[in-house]
């Protein structure tokens, strides 16, 4: 598994291209902006984008979805709770394309030989998910290095956020953590040093 991080947009959202190196099939996680930069990387490395996986529906994570889907024909996945059509009043409204698909806790998306498991981790938004693939967690805006996502926007809930952090920190073993913004980390580091994780685990 090869993971490429492409920071995009004014908020420097981490867009991840996760590739099965045997097949060159890949998934793009949270293409928030700068579709040309993402498409250039795919073309330069002869990758086939099979799926666009969204951790949540905020504008800085979905801004390049339409362009990327048009160019690649990839399937788009989002939790239904973050689809504006189902969530009147949602901050930064985003509507899943008509040919998109919903996924939820317990679902999985296979791309080449890679399997992305969906973990429901609400709190930042109602429909926030974490995507687990091999030893990696793509946490969106649920878990950051040393911090967690804000919960003061419509659909946010600090109690849910702490429950989600507790769920992630309770996963057995260690994982690489790839958040929606800023640097990557490890789950063991966050269990030890992240105030919000420690708070969640001690509840």
Q: DSSP per residue over 160-176, as a string?
A: HHHHHHHHHHTSSS--E
Average pLDDT, the chain: 95
Distances 50 to 7, 114, 168 between C-alpha atoms, Å: 20, 11, 27
pTM, full prediction: 0.96
- The residue to which tokens 């991080």 are assigned: 5
CA distance 78 to 2: 23
How many CB atoms are located within 10 Å of the residue 60 CB?
18
Tokens for 4, please give them.
């490429």
Q: Pairing mode, if any, of strands 101-102 and 75-78?
A: parallel
- Render the burial of 153-177: b for 16+ CB within 10 Å, e for the rest: eebbeeebbbebbebbbeeeeebeb
Half-sphere exposure of 199 (CA within 13 A, CB side): 13
User: Which pLDDT score, from 0 to 100, does residue 154 have?
Assistant: 81
Among 124, 83, 88, 80, which residue's Cα sits nearest to residue 105?
80
Residue 40 φ then ψ, to 5°: -60, -40
Report helix angle 35-44 to 65-72, nearest 10. Answer: 30
User: Which pLDDT score, from 0 to 100, does residue 202 have?
Assistant: 92
CA distance 170 to 173: 9
User: Which pLDDT score, from 0 to 100, does residue 91 have?
Assistant: 58
Low-confidence ranges of the chain (pLDDT < 70): 87-93
User: Which pLDDT score, from 0 to 100, does residue 98 have?
Assistant: 82
User: Which pLDDT score, from 0 to 100, does residue 12 have?
Assistant: 96
């Amino acid at each position: 598994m090869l993971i490429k991080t492409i920071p995009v947009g004014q908020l420097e959202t981490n867009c991840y291209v996760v590739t099965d190196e045997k097949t060159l099939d890949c998934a793009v996680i949270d293409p928030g902006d700068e579709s040309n930069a993402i498409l250039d990387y795919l073309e330069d490395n002869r990758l086939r984008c099979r799926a666009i996986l969204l951790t949540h529906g905020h504008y800085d994570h979905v801004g390049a979805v339409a362009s990327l889907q048009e160019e690649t024909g990839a399937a788009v996945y989002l939790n239904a709770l973050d689809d504006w059509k189902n969530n009147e009043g949602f901050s930064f409204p985003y509507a899943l394309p008509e040919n998109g698909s919903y996924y939820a806790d317990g679902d999985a998306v296979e791309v080449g030989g890679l399997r992305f498991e969906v973990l429901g981790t609400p709190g930042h938004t109602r429909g926030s998910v974490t995507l687990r693939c091999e030893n990696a967690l793509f946490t969106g805006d649920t878990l950051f290095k040393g911090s967690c996502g804000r919960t003061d926007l419509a659909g946010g809930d600090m109690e849910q956020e702490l429950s989600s952090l507790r769920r992630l920190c309770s996963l057995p073993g260690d994982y690489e953590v790839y958040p929606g913004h800023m640097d990557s980390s490890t789950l063991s580091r966050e269990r030890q040093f992240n105030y919000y994780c420690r708070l969640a685990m001690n509840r």
